[in-house]
Structure 1
Amino acid sequence: MNRSRLILGAAVTAAALALTGCSGSGSGAEGASGGEGDTLKLWHFESDTSAMGIAWDEAIRVFEEETGATVEFEERSFEQIRSTASQVLNSDEAPDLLEYNKGNATAGLLSSQGLLTNLDDAVAEYGWDDKLAPSLQTTAKYDERGIMGSGSWFGVPNYGEFVEVYYNQDMFTEAGLEVPTTLDEFEDVLQAFTDKGVTPMAESAAEYPLGQLWYQLALTQADRGWVEDYQLYKNPVDWQGAEVSFATETVKEWTDKGYISPNATGSTAEDAGTAFINGTNPIFFSGSWWHNRFTTEATGFEWGTFLFPEAELAPGSAGNMWAVPENAANKELAYEFIDITMRPEIQNLIGNNGGVPVAADPADITDEKSSELIANFNELTEKDGIAFYPDWPTPTFYDELNAGLQELMNGTIAPEEFQEQVGEQYQSGVDDIVG
């Protein structure tokens, strides 16, 4: 076990203790359900330098101090949890609490299989619904089919996330370029860098970044009704319609023009992120989860962020959720830990370390870049601009969309063929869910 894991394990223990003290009177050990000899088994995939990792380390310290219980932490990657959750949670190896991805294809699927605990009573007891804006509650609730937006609570998010444009301010200044405010201006910026022999966009088609760019391009042509059709199955999605066609044709055009490297077909999200950190590419369209890492690692140049031009909607949601497996041995301890992570002092740690808190006081966010990040998120939530993610509708669509985009970039399928292929895959997955 490496040093960071040991530190994180101690932090998780503290967080569990803190949560126990929040049930009951709200502070101190009085009313806590934990005690010496009790153990909270916790999984999450945040690094110890991320905003959530930093905040949850403190939550662990508080939890252990207040409850006397111990946190047993196991480091699991996002992909490990995503690929094995249904098997592990259906066994006696299930943790008491884990960070889990939200959406129909993930938390919704597990809830419909009876693998997650219904949290309605805990939400009412702790008042978590009062701390979460309605748009952030969408991904915490699932009906009996596992479709988000209604039904019972099966998770509790304590941070938000969204996708925005990161840009290298030094490279923009050197090229005489300004932050674009329209899509035409954005394409002018891409062309200007290309003319200088610089591939403007750090990109990955092997993992999520290109799929999120494709979806963002569709959102520039979409409204809330289209999002609800795509995500909540309210009406059939036209896979040859204006929204999808614009996105597909633009990705193909940007690849052909050199705005996106064809090598992105084999690049991971990590490859794209480090290319931006290294100053190789001046633009990276990706999530707020990169923000703190860029703050600590992209130190060779000035960088900033802006929302995608001419888009009222953007990929994003409440963050990954705390979920309690149905087979958890210590559910009350899990609820206490969740509650500690919703405290203002823990929320402020998220906000001041590059995360997007859901229950912090804006006046307590003192970091300038963090304030910019949170302001962008608040702008989206205030105009109901959170549009979730492209792979959410079905359990297999993440891999299917990525594979289709790789073929599109390679030129092995035309845009219309791509849309027909992924449209059929999407509909097949939706039919399996809704019947």
Structure 2
Amino acid sequence: MKYRKHGLAAVLAVGALSIAACSGGGSGQSGSTAAPTGHDFSGQTLSVLVYENDTSAMGKAWRAAAKTFEQETGAKVDYQTTAFEDLSNTASQLFTSSDAPDLSEYNKGNGTAGALSTLGVLQNLDSYYSQYGWGDKLAPSLQTTTMYSDKGIMGSGSHFGVPNYGEFVFLYYNKDMLDQYGLKPPTTMAELESEMQTFVDKGVTPLSTAAQEYPAGQLWYQLVLNNADRQFVNDYQLYDNPVDFTKDPIASGTQTLADWVSKGYVDKASTGMTAEDAGLAFINGKSPFFFSGSWWYGRFLTDIKDFTFGITDFPGSTLVPGSSGNLWVIPTVTDSQHSAMAAYFIDITMRPEIQAILGNAGGLPVAANPGDITDPKAQDLISLFNKVLDRDGLAFYPDWPTSTFYDDLNAGLQGLINGSLTVKQTEQQLQSDYDTGTAQYR
């Protein structure tokens, strides 16, 4: 617990993703799964469930991994996609049913992978970490989100998942729209608000977001983080000390979001929008700014044809939402042979050639050879991420503290944005939800 709670900030300062692999060391513990003895799985089918579309960096890399897996094993891959929201809502039931995939992408954090690990829904992967040496490929900071204690708290215990990419959140901007009014990428909050007001005066909603799903929550969290320090992150995410939603930095972040809605920087209609809706609004040139994660970057490189986009730190930020990428997890109901197949598939996604596909398509690889990342746009993304790492800036995600806080936060922010909740009422509602959900950890 001491490592998890107080060593975490120091661990994050280590280069979690400078592309070259860092030695983290495998746990060496005996897991519940048997290590594979061979890779001839002729006649078998591996079902893989993800929520990355084929145009994303991860989707491209994983499709290539599936082809390699089929060529090397003689097995087939039943590659399935679902929505992030759908899997978040159904995983605990799906992963214990006869329809469970053999291998799935799943969200990391106490409230998601941590919660399922305590329910016995996910396989302990320690033996596979030892078999494949994944601990030597993943930096210690990335392994923070793969390990969960018997209470489901990240940073210690056994491995229940494997990430093969990193991620963080930043500000996307439409350079052509900024150029139209003689504007530059904002570097301070004052500049950002001034530029957003310029677009409001022209009848354009400047900041695309969505409150049905995660973007609005991450925006709220960033506004909180702009006035926070590492101790706040430890308090909020790791339960070091009680968190008061009526006081700064949370109060100032909540008030700023409410102010942005009243000024027209954020559209009230975002309460009815999904993450996909918000991303498409940016892709289609309807808004000059979009605050979201690196998982969109590869898709934007592919889909944006009519303007030039850029990326920058959120103005005034030191801390930002971010962590390892989502995890590969193997449900407990997966039998031993298909578990071995799933582990082999995971290992293929960690190979340099697959990591290079991910990196050059706009993702953040965890085990790539530096010389394999040749695309200038990919190098821009990695450079920005390394700046965040250099200042120990990763602060996880706002919904991680409890298993229900993703829905709780969405509900609270929907009320704030559509005006059915005041700032004070939003603070009170989120405080109650947070305290209820984290009581088991205190």
Q: CA deviation at 1:31?
A: 6.4
Q: CA deviation at 1:121?
A: 1.8
Amino acid at match of 1:306: T
Instruction: Give the one of 410, 413, 416 matched to 1:408.
Output: 416
User: Match of 1:113?
Assistant: 119
User: Match of 2:4?
Assistant: none
User: Match of 1:424?
Assistant: 432
CA distance in 2: counterparts of 1:61 and 1:199, whole angstroms: 43
Amino acid at match of 2:410: N
Instruction: Give the one of 257, 263, 267 matched to 2:269.
Output: 263
Query: What TM-score does the superposition give when structure 1 sets the normalisation length?
Result: 0.90
Summarize the alignment of residues 138-287 of structure 1 with structure 2, pairs less than 5 Å apart: 138-287=144-293
Contact 1:32 1:67 in 2 (8 A): no
Identify the range of structure 1 (341-350 vs 230-239) with the bigger mean alpha-carbon deviation. 230-239
CA distance in 2: counterparts of 1:394 and 1:346, whole angstroms: 34
Summarize the alignment of residues 93-112 of structure 1 with structure 2, pairs less than 5 Å apart: 93-112=99-118
Identify the range of structure 1 (143-152 vs 87-96) with the bigger mean alpha-carbon deviation. 87-96
User: Match of 1:370?
Assistant: 378
Summarize the alignment of residues 290-329 of structure 1 with structure 2, pairs less than 5 Å apart: 290-329=296-335
Amino acid at match of 1:362: P
CA distance in 1: counterparts of 2:106 and 2:209, whole angstroms: 25
CA distance in 2: counterparts of 1:285 and 1:68, whole angstroms: 43
Q: CA deviation at 1:55?
A: 0.8
Contact 1:117 1:324 in 2 (8 A): yes
CA distance in 2: counterparts of 1:376 and 1:369, whole angstroms: 11
User: Match of 1:130?
Assistant: 136
Identify the range of structure 1 (189-198 vs 256-265) with the bigger mean alpha-carbon deviation. 189-198
CA distance in 2: counterparts of 1:71 and 1:168, whole angstroms: 38
Q: CA deviation at 1:276?
A: 0.9
Amino acid at match of 1:103: G
Q: 1:280 to 1:271 in 2, by over 3 A?
A: same
Contact 1:317 1:386 in 2 (8 A): yes
Summarize the alignment of residues 21-100 of structure 1 with structure 2, pairs less than 5 Å apart: 32-100=38-106
Q: CA deviation at 1:225?
A: 1.4
CA distance in 1: counterparts of 2:269 and 2:131, whole angstroms: 52
Contact 1:204 1:269 in 2 (8 A): yes
Contact 1:255 1:262 in 2 (8 A): yes
Identify the range of structure 1 (289-298 vs 107-116) with the bigger mean alpha-carbon deviation. 289-298
| Cα deviation digits, residues 318-364 of structure 1 (max 9, x gap) | 11110011111221111111111001100000011111111112332
User: Match of 1:380?
Assistant: 388
CA distance in 2: counterparts of 1:379 and 1:32, whole angstroms: 42
Contact 2:211 2:273 in 1 (8 A): yes
Instruction: Give the one of 366, 369, 387 matched to 1:361.
Output: 369
Contact 1:220 1:313 in 2 (8 A): yes
Q: 1:216 to 1:78 in 2, by over 3 A?
A: same
Amino acid at match of 1:228: N
Q: 1:239 to 1:167 in 2, by over 3 A?
A: same
| Cα deviation digits, residues 99-145 of structure 1 (max 9, x gap) | 11111111111100011111112112212122222221111111101
CA distance in 2: counterparts of 1:67 and 1:120, whole angstroms: 23
User: Match of 1:346?
Assistant: 354
Query: What TM-score does the superposition give when structure 2 sets the normalisation length?
Result: 0.88
CA distance in 1: counterparts of 2:291 and 2:369, whole angstroms: 28
The DSSP-based 3-state class of the residue aligned with 1:426 is helix
Contact 1:209 1:285 in 2 (8 A): yes
Q: 1:280 to 1:61 in 2, by over 3 A?
A: same
Amino acid at match of 1:346: I
Q: CA deviation at 1:57?
A: 1.3
User: Match of 2:29?
Assistant: none
Is 2:401 aligned against 1:399? no
For structure 2, the residue ranges without an aligned partner over 5 or more in a row are 1-35
The DSSP-based 3-state class of the residue aligned with 1:157 is coil
User: Match of 2:6?
Assistant: none
| Cα deviation digits, residues 10-53 of structure 1 (max 9, x gap) | xxxxxxxxxxxxxxxxxxxx963333123322222221222111
| Cα deviation digits, residues 201-246 of structure 1 (max 9, x gap) | 1121222111100000111111111111111112111212211011
For structure 1, the residue ranges without an aligned partner over 5 or more in a row are 1-29
Identify the range of structure 1 (97-106 vs 87-96) with the bigger mean alpha-carbon deviation. 87-96
Q: 1:311 to 1:37 in 2, by over 3 A?
A: same
Q: 1:246 to 1:84 in 2, by over 3 A?
A: same
Total equivalences in the alignment: 405
Name which structure has the greater RCO, CA cutoff 8 Å, separation 6+: 2
Contact 2:39 2:72 in 1 (8 A): no
| Cα deviation digits, residues 36-92 of structure 1 (max 9, x gap) | 123322222221222111111111111122222222333333233222221122234
Provide the alpha-carbon RMSD of the alignment: 1.6
CA distance in 2: counterparts of 1:363 and 1:306, whole angstroms: 24
Q: 1:398 to 1:76 in 2, by over 3 A?
A: same
The DSSP-based 3-state class of the residue aligned with 2:145 is helix
Q: CA deviation at 1:288?
A: 1.1
Q: CA deviation at 1:150?
A: 1.3
Contact 2:57 2:299 in 1 (8 A): no
CA distance in 2: counterparts of 1:415 and 1:226, whole angstroms: 21
* Percent of aligned positions that are identical: 55
